[in-house]
């Protein structure tokens, strides 16, 4: 098997939208690949400001015949905080309209995002269970406007996000059930009672090889319990994807990947020092999912 493309660069990890070239090959094959690239697009902002770059986002979506509306945090004048894109187009696989809500993940330059990530105490969640307090705060900043925008939407609805954005998408799915939830590099969001509110939900939770973020918060933290939603779609070091592979298979693959990374990439200028961080870059999820023939 030929390994999929892979980026070890700091820019692709910390500033995912800088490389541009969104949807360079046209509309991706399958809705999971569409969601992966929309997650990367959701990082698009006119630096050093934090509000989403509506013009660039609209231009990237236009060739796909999608239109997009950006939702920025209203908590700060420069737009620090939570962000999402709501985009509408045609569902090529099922016919009719398709709506996708894609949440931006943690911006390394935004202290608001970092604060939400760090606030790992739990709070009661309306649909059921208890969830990570910082993730709940991040979603609540956008929830009223997103709820209004989704009211009366026709056709299939997908929620997606990367990193912190994946957590926000998961929380939204417990409030307004989508047709599918596709997440990339998602941390654990809530306790088992929360997870049960999403039983039977469609979609995929992708974990890229050594990516450290899906391993936090730990399953047990200061007496709190955290669990993942749904099956693990594990991307191995070659880019191949397996559903719920055995723990020893994952552990061996990660050991080999980390050792190889130190030899090939860690020492080069401009690269991330360890694969546990490099694998979290949105573009690496895009590369692997785009190449996956099994995706919906």
Rounded to whole angstroms, the Cα distance separating 48 from 197 reads 39
Predicted pLDDT of residue 177: 95
Please say whether the beta carbons of 135 and 168 come within 8 A. Answer: yes
Q: Which helix (H) or strand (E) holds 43?
A: none
Rounded to whole angstroms, the Cα distance separating 23 from 39 reads 12
Give the single-character DSSP code of 3. P
Please say whether the beta carbons of 231 and 130 come within 8 A. Answer: no
Alpha helix segments (H runs only) across the chain: 10-14, 31-41, 54-61, 111-118, 133-140, 143-150, 164-175, 192-196, 247-264, 275-278, 282-290
Predicted pLDDT of residue 29: 87
Rounded to whole angstroms, the Cα distance separating 198 from 170 reads 9
Rounded to whole angstroms, the Cα distance separating 243 from 104 reads 25
CB 282: neighbour CB atoms within 10 A?
Answer: 27
Q: Which residue in this structure is represented by tokens 């509506």?
A: 54
Predicted pLDDT of residue 53: 92
Predicted pLDDT of residue 7: 96
**Which domains are assigned to the chain?**
14-290 (3.40.50.1820)
208-40-13 Cα angle (round to 5) = 60
Rounded to whole angstroms, the Cα distance separating 107 from 82 reads 10
Q: Which residue in this structure is represented by tokens 């999912």?
A: 289
CB 3: neighbour CB atoms within 10 A?
Answer: 13
| Closest to 14 in 3D by CA, of 36, 47, 37, 38 | 47
Rounded to whole angstroms, the Cα distance separating 296 from 293 reads 9
For the chain, how are helix, strand and coil distributed in percent, rounded to 5? Answer: 35, 20, 45
Sign of CA dihedral 288, 4, 209, 261: negative
Rounded to whole angstroms, the Cα distance separating 232 from 166 reads 14
| pLDDT by residue, tens only, the chain of 296 residues | 346 799 999 999 999 999 999 999 999 989 999 999 999 999 999 888 899 999 999 999 999 999 999 999 876 667 788 999 999 999 988 889 999 999 999 998 988 889 999 989 999 999 999 999 999 999 999 999 999 999 989 999 999 999 999 999 999 999 999 999 999 999 999 999 999 999 999 999 999 999 999 999 999 988 899 999 999 999 999 999 999 999 999 999 999 999 999 999 999 999 999 999 999 999 999 999 999 878 78
Q: How many CA atoms lie within 13 A of 99 on its CB side?
A: 17
């Amino acid at each position: 098997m030929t390994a999929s493309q892979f980026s070890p660069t700091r820019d692709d990890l910390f500033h995912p939208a800088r490389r541009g070239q969104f949807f360079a090959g046209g509309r991706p094959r399958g809705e999971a690949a569409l969601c992966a690239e929309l997650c990367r697009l959701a990082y698009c902002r006119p630096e050093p400001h934090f509000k989403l770059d509506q013009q660039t986002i609209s231009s990237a979506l236009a060739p796909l015949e999608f239109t997009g509306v950006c939702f920025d945090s209203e908590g700060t004048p420069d737009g620090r905080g939570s962000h999402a894109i709501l985009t509408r187009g045609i569902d090529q696989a099922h016919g009719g309209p398709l709506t996708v809500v894609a949440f931006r993940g943690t911006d390394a330059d935004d202290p608001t995002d970092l604060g939400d990530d760090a606030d790992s105490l739990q709070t009661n969640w309306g649909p059921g269970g208890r969830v990570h307090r910082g993730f709940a705060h991040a979603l609540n900043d956008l929830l009223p406007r997103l709820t209004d925008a989704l009211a009366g939407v026709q056709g299939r609805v997908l929620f997606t996000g990367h990193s912190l954005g994946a957590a926000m998408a998961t929380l939204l799915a417990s409030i307004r059930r989508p047709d599918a939830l596709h997440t990339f590099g998602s941390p654990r969001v809530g306790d088992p009672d929360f997870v049960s509110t999403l039983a039977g939900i469609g979609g995929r939770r992708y974990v890229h090889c050594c990516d450290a973020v899906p391993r936090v918060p730990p399953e047990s933290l200061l007496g709190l319990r955290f669990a993942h939603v749904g099956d693990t779609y594990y991307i191995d070091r070659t880019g191949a994807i397996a559903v719920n592979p055995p723990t020893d298979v994952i552990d061996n693959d990660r050991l080999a990947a980390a050792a190889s990374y130190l030899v090939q990439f860690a020492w080069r200028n401009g690269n991330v020092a360890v694969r546990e961080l490099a694998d979290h870059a949105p573009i690496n999820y895009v590369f692997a999912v785009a190449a996956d023939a099994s995706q919906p």
